Amino acid sequence: MATTEEITTDSEAGDKVLTPEMVAEIQALFPRYPTLQAVTLPALHIVNQHLRHVPFQAVVEIAELLELAPAQVQDTLSFYAFFKQDKPHGETRAWVCRSISCALRGGEEVLAHLCEKAGIQPGETTADGKLTIEFGECLGACEFAPCMLAGDEVHKDLDNKKVEAFLRDCQSS
Amino acid sequence: MAEFEPVLLANIDRPESHTLAAYEATGGYSAVRRVLADMSPTQVVELVQESNLRGRGGAGFPTGLKWSFLPQDHPGPIYMCVNADESEPATFNNRILMEQDPHQLIEGAILACYATRATTAYIYLRYEYPHALARLQQAIDECYEKGYLGKNILGSEFSLDIYMHRGAAAYICGEETGLIESLEGKRAWPRIKPPFPAVKGLFQKPTVVNNVETLCCVKHIVDRGADWFKSIGVPADPENPRDAGSYGPKLYCVSGHVNKPGCYEAPLGLTVRELIENQGGGVWKGRKCKAAVPGGISMGVLSADELDCPLDFSGPGKYGCLGLGTAAVTVVDDTVSMVDFLHNTTRFMAHESCGQCTPCREGTSWALSMLNRIKAGKGRLQDLELILEIGDSIGIIPGTTICGLSDGAAWPMKNAIRKFRDEFEEYIRKTNPDGCNETEPVQALQIIGVH
Amino acid sequence: MATVIINGQEIELDDDERLNAIQAAARVDEEIPHYCWHPGLSVVASCRMCLIETGRKDPESGEVSMMPKLVPGCQTPATDGTVIVTDSDKVKKARAQVEEDLLINHPIDCPICDKAGECRLQDYYFEHGQADRRADLKPYTSRRRSLGDTVTLFVDRCIMCSRCVRFTREVTGTAELYVEGRGSSEEINVFPGFPLENKMSGNVVDLCPVGALGDKDFLYQQRVWFMKSHDGVCAGCSTGCSIEVDENQDHVYRLKPRENPHVNQWWMCDEGRYGFHHIHAEERLAGPAKLDDDALVNADWTRLPSELNEKFTAAESVAGVISPHLTVEEAYLLAKYLRSVDENAALVLGPVPSEGEDESFPNGFTIRAEKCPNRRGVQAVLEHFTGKVQTLDDLLPEIEAGKFDAVWVSGGYTNSDWVDETTAEQFASVKTLVVQDLFNSPLIQQADYRLPSAAFAEREGSYVNFADRLQSFRWAVRPPMGVRTEGSLLWQLLASSGMYNAAEVLAELSREIIYFAAAKDEVPAVGVDLKVNLLV
């Protein structure tokens, strides 16, 4: 007869992608809202922060926690074009703004240059997994146009040299 | 003109301006103290009504009037949503307020919640402002510790919780009911109105949604009074009983082809020309201004001979634009093609359209596909007529859509093509000499199974 | 009373009526086109096809003030003084624009799309659309994606009305369908591993205004313009959903729910919806047969009625087992006939098929465990003739003991399992056993006279559902050659003249039996509540 020490996690638990830590973070938000569904977007962010994407299995687990159907969580997730699902985004995710104030000051050229040097298109991740480039829509830093948001940092007054330096930093990190 | 003494931006250059200590050192939270001790919620509403404060989020709706729509004896809960989703292109004033002076917003929110009897406030903050997120969360934590938030604030009957709620990069979450739907955990498809949020909003309860800058103004109105507020800006037109005036200080964002892009505070009513020349340091590189966006791209665009347009709630409308919007002025110099300008704004709108209602979803996408084809050298003059027709037909103003995103998509189309018609025609003729006069439909650039 | 003015015409609404402009306009036969609105779902006003002009008429001055902007009719309440305009140039232009918008990216699929002929996109194009295409040409055909066992999705035909999504969230509460993405590339989808599989799934195909959702059972089976629609009642369970039977040349291709606010609102369950294939099953009993000195021979419908009548009249003691699948009229005629040949004829209720438990959905719709349409009706007939209700089980001992010379068992059961070997053998000693049924069974094997029965869509008459609501219907398809309906056979046995006339039978029995009194006047399409006239 198996003792408690010998009982291993069963295959179902092994297939779960939400760690107890993530579950705890999500559940800590429950008291803030009168419905569980309101925790959907915060839960997606929590999972995304840990895993750099929200795989389908995570959607199922979030839905279970929030007493929703997986389709309801997926409905919300897919609206935002923000959460990757098939594989993690790069260690750095760089949103290069393409809205009017940045475009007027060379934003599209800077983006093209970065893509060329990195060898990927917006939406894609470099092969070494270091960098994902995305289109940003007005990052709200127009006084520093053209700009990009990478992680939590706004990179200002970009030009070709600056993005090349940025790329080198990403690759060496 | 005399330098305007900053009100909203008064603190931002002080060291540690974002901390509670710095904020209290200049009298911060004295308004909260006084209101909790001496004023009833109704009195605060009346004060704000008297000030004729109008929302700074884009619609310019009188704030006190919005608050008065809440049902009088509702058992609650009543919610406050702080609209910190600032996503209108070229707009960044709220970002500066939240990063550099978060307590000003928090105090304004506390006063607004007291007035509206809201017991929970959510600050819906766009994803792209991580620094503001950190600063605001720190400020909230400081307030809980000090007793400005939580149960029985400063020993009064009033309790309030404020929570941060982070968005995920969707412009439509800045629309009042889109924000509410997103907060509730669903896709941000704006709701039909009626019912209005004041009656049935967040979680089907009475809700007020207010812009960041608007709430900061509330704090100052309580501090200095309605008369003070009305001493700044442009008075209501006595001939027009519907004009609520354009009172108070305003944060103007200047960006694009200027020497000093930035956020500047001045009374409402500055003209575009003044803003560009004075605060903005003039058009860059010695060039001339070709066009200027008056208040975020949703408002449309002014031509070079319309720069005397005053930036108050009634000004831009007289120049064929939608309105003041966010008072974010973007300057376009004479090297820019208006075709590229319109392509950029239309691409933005088509990308951000929530997709719920037919005219916006299909109209913005159709206009974009035509502009793509024009830029690919396969445009027709006929396309300009079609884009204008789309622009004239989509929006809440004609009543064909659920929310105002489509009006924001339409105005650049109408303004750009009508005010720069010759340029558009010349572009098409030059890039597609053989096909520009075609009136029959042509092959789409992409024929695929997906739109 | 509320006065509402539609295109200048005034109508009166009752105080308790809550109508929107679409419903109010329908009262004056004015159709406001719409896609996303449905009376059984929440109002989203997203398709924008129902845009109208609206205003108010001042009750004192009579002055009409119209709102400057268009508003959706689905979200405009029709209250006292509401003015509705559906035919102005402004409204027509707005409709034409919505129609054009929907067609810009629509795949060129009409020739291969099931919905052609009953498609709103097609119909509104002709009625309200602007003629020529002005958008770029992109001829393509839709992608297809299965959503579950019953429904398939032609992805690109979807016009994003969201009816199907709202149905799974609001009516069934199962939330399998969702919208993927944002803007003009939105699509309907199901989450991987969680297909559309609730028991009301087929309703989303009815709801879809275009050919995006396809019913796998019906897909490519028949063009709708070849089919005739007949009002009917589902015989799948005792809920008794009002349905329509769509057939071509006596072949049933599809069942759809028919609106009945008293029974099923706008819905029906999948079991009922797809439960008609037995009508055309090869295994159906094809023609009458009889045992002639232990040899089974084909019988002849021209001679059978008189032969049966001879046997039953000569019998000393007669019994009848009346199936809950029979209509009220057929049950009445059978009871009447058997009592006419033997005034003490035993009459009992046939086995009542039952499966599982009643299953209710959040909106109240219930699939009932009792899998037959007319137990209540048959019971009432039995009570009238015998003063009580007994079942076959009550009678089996006497049948086995050989008390009855002639027994008539009516069937109409949709499978062979309703009676087992043991029970069948208890009929072994009956001299003249008549069994009229759809399929082979142990009991048919015992029968001296093996008569094929009608399927529900071939019957004419009435059923009484679980809530004592009687609904009447005409036959939708003729039975196969060699089959005579119970009604037609019994009509002849009772020596009634002319063709079987269910209405006449209903008139008679509603006079004779108090329970059915409310059915003595013409029964409306939604049926009649029999309890209305009962004191109990």
Q: Note the pLDDT of residue C536.
A: 55
Fold of the CATH domain B249-333 = Ubiquitin-like (UB roll) (3.10.20)
What tokens does B2 get?
Answer: 């005399």
Per-residue pLDDT 10s for chain C (536 aa) are 899 999 999 999 998 999 999 999 999 999 999 999 999 999 999 999 999 999 999 989 999 999 999 999 999 999 999 999 999 999 999 999 999 999 999 999 999 999 999 999 999 999 999 989 999 999 999 999 999 999 999 999 999 999 999 999 999 999 999 999 999 999 999 999 999 999 999 999 999 999 999 999 999 999 999 999 999 999 999 999 999 999 999 999 999 999 999 999 999 999 999 999 999 999 999 999 999 888 999 999 999 999 999 999 999 999 999 999 999 999 999 999 999 999 999 999 999 999 999 999 999 999 999 999 999 999 999 999 999 999 999 999 999 999 999 999 999 999 999 999 999 999 999 999 999 999 999 999 999 999 999 999 999 999 999 999 999 999 999 999 999 999 999 999 998 888 999 999 999 999 999 999 999 999 999 999 999 866 65
Mean pLDDT across the stretch B133-153? 98
A164 in the same domain as A105: yes
Q: Given pLDDT bands bounded at 50, 70 and 90, which one contains residue A10?
A: very low
**What does chain A look like in DSSP terms, one character per residue?**
---TTTPPPPHHHHT--S-HHHHHHHHTTGGGSSSSGGGHHHHHHHHHHHHSS--HHHHHHHHHHTT--HHHHHHHHHHTT----SS---SEEEEEE-SHHHHHTTHHHHHHHHHHHHT--TT-B-TTSSEEEEEES--S-GGG-S-EEETTEEE-S--HHHHHHHHHHHHH-
For domain C95-220, the CATH architecture is: 2-Layer Sandwich (3.30)
- Chain A residues within an 8 Å CB radius of C177: 71
CB contact under 8 A, A101 and B169: no
Q: Which residues of A touch B331 (CB under 8 A)?
A: 104
pLDDT (0 to 100) of residue A3: 39
B361-418 pLDDT tens trace: 999 999 999 999 999 999 999 999 999 999 999 999 999 999 999 999 999 999 999 9
List the Cα angle B426/B430/B435 in 5-degree steps. 105
Cα–Cα distance measured from residue A86 to residue A83, given in angstroms and rounded to the nearest whole number: 10
**Within a domain: A6:** no
| Peptide bond connecting C452 to the previous residue in cis, omega within 30 degrees of 0 | no
Q: How many residues does chain B have?
A: 451
Chains that touch C (3 or more CB pairs under 8 A): A, B
Task: Count other Cβ atoms within 10 Å, centred on residue C144.
Answer: 12
Contact assessment for residue C289 and residue C297, using Cβ atoms and an 8 Å cutoff: yes
| A19 and A63 fall within a common domain | yes
Any idea which residue has 């035993």 for tokens?
Answer: C346
Which residues of B, range 375-434, sit inside 8 Å of A by Cβ? none
CA distance B347 to B367: 9
* Residue among B325, B334, B417, B308 at smallest CA distance from B90: B325
Backbone angles phi, psi at B443, to 5 degrees: -65, 140
Query: Where residue A121 sits, what CATH number does that domain have?
Result: 3.40.30.10
Residue C294: the pLDDT is: 85
Does domain C289-456+483-504 fall into CATH 3.30.300.280? no
Same domain, A124 and A167: yes
Asked if pLDDT for residue B451 goes beyond 80, the answer is no
Is the minimum CB–CB distance between A125 and chain B shorter than 8 Å?
Answer: no
Buried b (16+ CB within 10 A) or exposed e, C289-314: bbbeeeeeeebeeeebbeebbebbee
CATH H-level, domain B20-231: superfamily: NADH-ubiquinone oxidoreductase 51kDa subunit (3.40.50.11540)
Domain count, chain A: 2
Nearest to C179 among A60, A75, A81 (CB): A75
Size of interface A-C (CB pairs under 8 A): 44
Mark whether A105 and A161 lie in a shared domain.
yes
Same domain, yes or no: A125 and A56: no
Looking at the domain assignment, is residue A61 inside a domain? yes
C367's tokens: 């699939």
Closest CB to B332 among A38, A40, A104: A104
Contact criterion met (CB < 8 Å) for C175 and A81: no
Domain that holds residue A17: 11-79
Instruction: Find out if CATH 3.40.1360.10 is the number for domain B338-431.
Output: no
Domain with CATH 3.30.70.20 in chain C: 95-220
A residues 45..84 contacting B (CB < 8 A): 45, 66, 72, 75-76, 79-83
> Is the backbone of residue B109 left (phi > 0), alpha (psi -120 to 50) or beta?
alpha
Indicate yes or no: CB of A74 within 8 angstroms of CB of C175: no
Q: CA-CA distance, C416 to C435, in Å (whole number)? A: 13
In whole angstroms, give the CA distance from residue C77 to residue C124.
Answer: 24
The CATH number of the domain where A44 resides is what?
1.10.10
Whether residues A58 and A33 share a domain: the answer is yes
Q: A13 touching C, CB under 8 A?
A: no
- Measured CA distances, C390 to A92, B325, C350, C383, C514 (Å): 79, 79, 9, 9, 20
Indicate where chain C has its CATH 3.40.50.1220 domain(s): 289-456+483-504
Quote the strand ranges of B221-320, DSSP E: 233-234, 246-247, 249-256, 262-267, 289-293, 302-303
CATH number belonging to the domain at C2-87, selected among 3.30.360.10, 2.30.30.280, 3.10.20.740, 3.40.50.1100: 3.10.20.740
Q: Do A109 and A75 reside in the same domain of the chain?
A: no
Residues of chain B above pLDDT 70, percent: 98
Q: Which residues of B218-231 are buried (b: 16+ CB within 10 A; e: fewer)?
A: bbbbbbeebeebbe
In this structure, are A69 and A113 located in the same domain? no
Is B293:B327 a contact under the CB 8 Å cutoff? no
pLDDT band at A14 (very low <50, low <70, confident <90, very high): low
Task: Provide, as residue numbers in chain C, all residues whose Cβ is less than 8 Å from the Cβ of B448.
Answer: 138, 140
Best to test chain C binding among B357, B384, B394, B447 (most C CBs inside 10 Å)? B357
Tell me, yes or no, whether A73 lies in a domain: yes
Joined tokens for residue C478: 């003729």
8 Å CB contact of A143 and B253: yes
Number of Cβ atoms within 10 Å of the Cβ of C261: 10
Answer whether C138 sits within 8 Å of B446, measured CB to CB.
Answer: yes
ipTM of the complex: 0.95
CB neighbour class for A168 (10 Å; exposed up to 12, middle 13-18, buried from 19): exposed
Contact flag C175-A69 (C-beta cutoff 8 Å): yes
* Residue numbers in B near A149 (CB within 8 A): 128, 130
Pairwise CA distance, residues A49 & A165, whole Å: 25
Mutate one of B165, B287, B371 to test the A interface: name it (highest A CB count within 10 A).
B165
User: Among all chains, which residue has been given the structure tokens 């309440």?
Assistant: C77
Residue among C390, C389, C394 at smallest CA distance from C423: C394
Specify the residue for token string 């200095």.
Answer: B224
Q: What phi, psi does C149 have (nearest 5°)?
A: -70, -30
Subunits in contact with chain B (3 or more CB pairs closer than 8 Å): A, C
Helix axes A40-51, A70-79, angle to 10 degrees: 70
Let me know whether A75 and A96 are in one domain.
no
Domain boundary among A79, A103, A134: A79
The string of pLDDT tens digits covering residues B233-243 is: 999 989 988 88
Predicted pLDDT of residue C534: 64
**pLDDT mean over B147-174:** 97
Mean pLDDT of B208-222: 98
Phi, psi for C341 (deg, rounded to 5): -90, -20
Domain borders along chain B are 20-231, 249-333, 338-431
